[in-house]
A and B are shown apart, each in its own frame.
Chain A
Amino acid sequence: MTNLSKCKKNKQYTICGFDSAVDGVLRRFWELGFTVGQKVKIVSTSLSKKVFLVQIRGYLLSVRASLLAKVQVKDD
């Protein structure tokens, strides 16, 4: 198990939990479809790897890596 900010590019992972108390960011993640059991993939990263492009539920989101550290995933 790892967090989404440490995942490899173009490899599919499954969300297995969240590493934080309820806050605005986590709430936003849930609204956007980051729920337990959901498949997720890192499609691209910025030059310094501080921003990730994530594919989830058939669409793309750019997210700051520090926020993705709250999402725990396991290798498929």
Chain B
Amino acid sequence: MTELLLVGNPNSGKTTLFNSLTRSNEHVGNWHGVTVDTKAKSFFANGEEHILVDTPGIYSLCPLSFEEEVAVKTIFSSERKIINICDQNNLQRNLYLTLCLLEKGCDVVVAVNEIDRKPIYKVDYKKLSEQLGVPVVGINAEKKIGLDNLKKALKMPRKTQKLPYFRQLDANLLNKTNLNKDFYNLIKLYEQDEKYFFNSGRKETKTLFENVPKDSAQILAKLRFDFIESVLNECTKRTDKVYGQSKLDKLILNKWLYFPIFLSVMAGIFYLTFFSLGAFLSGILESLLGLFTNTVLGALEGAIGKGWFYELINTAVFGGVGTVLSFLPQVVLLFFFLSVLEDSGYLSRIAFIFEDILGKIGLSGKSVYTLLMGFGCSTTAIMTARNMDDKNAKIKTAVLCPYMSCSAKIPIYTVIGGAFFGASNILVIMGLYFLGVVVALAISKLLDVTVLKSKKQSFILEFPPYRMTSPKRVGKILWKNVKEFLIRVGSVMIAMNIIIWVLSSFSFSFSYVADSHGSMLETIGKFITPIFVPLGFGNWAIVASLVAGLVAKEVVVSSIAMFNGIDAGANKLISSSILLSSSLVFFKSKASVLAFLVFCLLYTPCVASISMLLQEIGKKWTIISIVLQLVTAYVVALIVYNVAFAFEIFGFIKCFSVLMTVMAFLVAVVFIAKKIKHKKLCGNCQNCSNKRCHKK
């Protein structure tokens, strides 16, 4: 069994090819840096089993970000055949990496991915293969075209290629160092790649470059591009199209329209997910589930009667889980829209738009991808923080992910919010999503000015062309998310619901208590409950459901449904009326419901996200992140409760006037503070960056 490496520029189609060859369903997207770690799976070619290793995208063998380091380390770790995938539409830049691999002496097969019907480059593969000295095949990774040719090319014997521009490099530079005479050392001397020599075991690296011309790295880059241009002139016909350019950008990147367009897109996604389409599909599923569970429970009642076992199945399995299961269409729709956004190429435009704002709070436009993915699932979003160049920015982005409202919280907002706010719940849900973003940005700024000051991010991001999501991919996205949701509901949630049901139905002396009074959970819950009294929801059942939500956020709703005896047959209307009149989920007012929803939005993420944080940012920052989230959730929920309570008591106009006065006061304080700071700087103009400074 031989191992093959899949290497290429970001967004060239590596994971698409990986999926096609190994019949996998790994995450792909029209964005730079979707793959942040290596993945391996076997496939058969030429009667032999191979292990294919997918790597994160790189531009050269000098890594800049964490995920690039992963790819380069994998390439350097051992000698394996490499499938170098190049995007046909951006061949000039993609071949730069090919040359880097050939310089290293790698055994390479070049696969040119023909993504579009009318490509920018029309390639003569035979000529290109002769020029580069390695097999070159044309493929379409998504449509699985040309994969047989690629498999045949893998059989071809290795060739060592001396590239023509090697002659122009000054080999004497090697003699001036005590490095061994390996030609690749000369290349790395030219690149002034300190990290490479350090990783090769050389402790002292600074003196290595004493005799190397200052502009050597630039000279080498120019030699490579000059060679590529000459090869492409010989082997390709080029159109005048610019890769990534679209007439649509005149509208989308219009300075005055880009924010309204972005807000409209996001509002459209949320409206379709939570209300029109999502609510419609959710209603159908709810009816089907009701029909199914009533039939099963009827049969069960006939067989064993209405004992404790019947209650367990009715409330813990069908009641609790059924409440969450009916949200399957909404969760899947949200993931679907996020994937469409990802595939469309619009994310790079959003990064461009938000770079200004995010740069000011110590993040970069590249964080947009991670934060938007956080709306789907925090666990996977945290991992994508690897495409940050700076360690502090990576930690900060990962810490911020859980503040973005993940899809698991949809049932909480819809069931609890829907019961108490009715038709106005759309505003509440939009407000919660917005609040999550605002709090995340505020936390980022706080971290940036205190303990996680990050250096300016090197925001250089490729603009991909706009693309439509193919129907095949739509199917794959839907299937993947349905499967994941059902597995989570069928395993973690059922187990948690049974544990909660046992804890809430039996006392410490193991006697059955039908209405939870005197149960183990009530006894434990009452210890923590006083902490939440200032937030307006000091009720043991709610506190217990919040604790249970640490395992998975959906459990919050299923346990609330269970405590209130919402059985399997109850639809949303019945559930709402039960919750409104419930004594166990006792919210004093709408203000306390709002505080509860805000707390759910901001408090500690699920166990899976915590373990991902541990893996990505280490123990210290994970603990800090958890504590920070708990404190933030408590403080923000307290503020929301008190403000909303005041609105309820004193009326809208009075409270709005007071709120506006306080805000005006705060704005004035900030303005005056800035003026004073500016005056101080003007006393020492060396540090003053103000263009309007009176001395300039």
Contacts and interface: CB of A to CB of B under 8 A. Distances in A.
A60 B244 contact: yes
Contacts of A38: 225
B95 to A, nearest CB: 11
Contacts of B225: 33, 35, 38, 57
A10 interface: no
A60 B463 CA distance: 5
Contacts of B242: 55, 58-60
A25 interface: yes
B245 A33 contact: no
Contact of B463 (A30, A36, A50, A62): A62
Nearest to B254: A44
A35 B93 contact: no
Interface in A1-59: 18, 21-22, 24-33, 35-38, 43-44, 46-48, 50-51, 53, 55, 57-59
Given A24-B64, A46-B356, A50-B356, A64 B459 contact: yes
Report, as a range, how many residues of chain B touch the other chain.
35 or more
A22 B90 CA distance: 26
Looking at chain A's contact residues, the main secondary structure is mixed
A31 B92 CA distance: 11
Nearest to B194: A22
A62 B192 contact: no
B463 A59 contact: yes
Given A53-B253, A59-B462, A31 B365 contact: no
A60 to B, nearest CB: 4
Interface string A54-76: 01011111111011000000000
Contact of B222 (A35, A47, A62): A35
Interface in B95-133: 96, 120
B642 interface: no
B355 A62 contact: yes
Contacts of A51: 352, 355-356, 365, 459
12 contacts: A18-B218, A29-B460, A32-B460, A33-B92, A50-B355, A51-B352, A51-B365, A59-B242, A61-B462, A64-B457, A64-B460, A67-B458
B458 A25 contact: yes
Given A55-B242, A58-B243, A59-B243, A31 B353 contact: no
Contact of B93 (A33, A37, A53, A62): A33
A33 B184 CA distance: 22
Given A29-B460, A33-B96, A53-B253, 15 more contacts: A31-B96, A33-B93, A35-B221, A35-B222, A46-B355, A50-B359, A51-B352, A55-B245, A58-B242, A59-B93, A59-B243, A59-B463, A60-B462, A60-B463, A64-B459
Contacts of B253: 44, 53
A49 B144 CA distance: 43
A14 B222 CA distance: 14
B342 interface: no
Contact of A67 (B214, B249, B365, B459): B459
Nearest to B91: A58
A3 B463 CA distance: 22
Nearest to B461: A62
A7 B474 CA distance: 42
B84 to A, nearest CB: 15
A6 B460 CA distance: 17
A22 B214 contact: yes
Nearest to B259: A47
A62 B64 contact: no
A7 to B, nearest CB: 17
B65 to A, nearest CB: 9
A21 to B, nearest CB: 8
A66 B456 contact: yes
A62 B458 CA distance: 11
B366 to A, nearest CB: 10
Nearest to A48: B356
A46 B92 CA distance: 27
A40 B192 CA distance: 26
A35 B192 CA distance: 17
Contact of A64 (B120, B191, B456): B456
Contacts of A18: 215, 218
Contacts of A22: 192, 214, 217
Closest 6 A/B residue pairs (Cβ):
A30-B221, A60-B463, A59-B243, A60-B244, A35-B222, A62-B352
B460 A28 contact: yes
A38 B92 CA distance: 13
